[in-house]
Amino acid sequence: MSDRDTRIGHIVRLGGGVADIRFEGAVPAITNRLVTLTDPEIVIEVSGLPGEGLARGLVMNPSAELRIGLAVRDTGGPIDVPVGEAVLGRMFDLFGRTIDDGPTLPDLPRRPILRRALPLSERRVEGTIFETGIKAIDLLSPLERGGKAGLFGGAGVGKTVLITEMIHNMVAEYDGVSLFCGIGERSREAEELYREMGEAGVLERTVMMFGQMNESPGVRFRVGHAALTMAEYFRDDLRSNVLVLIDNIFRFVQAGSEVSGLLGRIPSRVGYQPTLGTELADLEERICSTERGTMTSIQAVYVPADDFTDPAATHTFAHLSASIVLSRKKASEGLYPAIDPLKSYSRMLTPGTVSARHYRIARDVRNTLAEYEDLKDIIAMLGLEELSEQDRATVRQARQLERFLTQPFFSTEAMTGSAGRFVPLDATLDSCECILSGDFAGRDEGAFYMIGSIDELAEEAPDAA
């Protein structure tokens, strides 16, 4: 019996996207890629070894050809993807196949999608701010270059719009490579994003990878790892700075939960898989910076039923350097981006990391908004007139700041009719300082809604200040 024959097995059981394969010779290792002897191939990833001579695996791309008795070959290694500069400007699926109808890729080296995270001794902390041009983020939750930021929110509060705006603002100015990974999102969003990035002229420095909503849980569970393999190539081999954008981390957790259920594992808290923490860490810990290059990540995180105590949200919080929380209440009031300034957090917003002026203004803005939040119950019961003069001034400033922190986006110009604004951090600080000092005390709060910097307000009515 040849070595090749010993690597051939046959499917003996099928059920719910899981296949049991019996091998006469050596049983493949866990995470190995098995392929059926059909055209096209059906890929099965080994997930367990339930008995002697048996391998149990997840069917990644099921088709009508799948049946009991079908011959399966062990490839001897995990799923791999192509790496190299030729992948720039292209859109891929989990298996490294292009899905953009572009020209055929040249023959490229391939790397396994499952790799160990770098040891702490090889990591480097950057410690500088990554400017987004979005006022509420740069002021109150600044992103760390080489760090991980999460956009948390329930359904319909603007996570995808915000991450699309960040792509528009940051990728065009970014000195490096950008990689977008779509996990379990809608198919039309992939097409729209690909087209928009082409129109913006940033596609040639971007790689896109998708495991979409209609695909199997195994694909959605592994596509994040495949994207990071490509990102690691640019960071380590080409010594580039890499910006990794992921939408949506919750879908990765959800896919892991589906995989766990298919494999018959007993669920843990709130029905999630017992291995949730380990699986999320295996993905998140690969995102780090080294002496060779930085890897910065921005991740959208869906929060089920707006419950921030959900295990998927709490486990994700632990890996991030900045957490940007989107509020349904802000969205219902039309305050977009619907960022909750009192719940959002960044470890960069500390003295010594940001400038003393930035820290002071951010602290004063947060304090003013917190005082206003405390006064809302009194205002609702007794009315604004019952407040002291000082409290009324605080309320006026807080309402001006709330509206000033709204911003028209480039990514929504077609829907709103308002031109987008990129606001530099210095302009945001100058504007907030003017509002806090009372320079615009006589102005109606509505005038601050959906503007860029305070200069626009001054230009409208220079004598009103």
Q: Rounded CA gap, 204 and 199, in Å?
A: 11
Find out whether the peptide bond into 40 is cis, omega within 30 degrees of 0.
yes
Q: Of 97, 124, 186, 363, which one is the catalytic site residue?
A: 186
CA of residue 336 relative to chain centroid, distance: 19
| Candidates 7, 90, 135, 159; catalytic one | 159
Catalytic annotation present for 159 = yes
185 is known as an active-site residue: yes
Question: Which one of the listed residues 45, 131, 185, 232 is annotated catalytic?
Answer: 185
What is the end-to-end Cα distance of the chain in Å, rounded?
Answer: 89
Whole-number CA gyration radius for the chain: 25
Between CA 27 and CA 18 the distance in angstroms is 17
**Residue 186 appears among annotated catalytic residues:** yes
What positions carry a catalytic annotation?
A: 159, 185-186
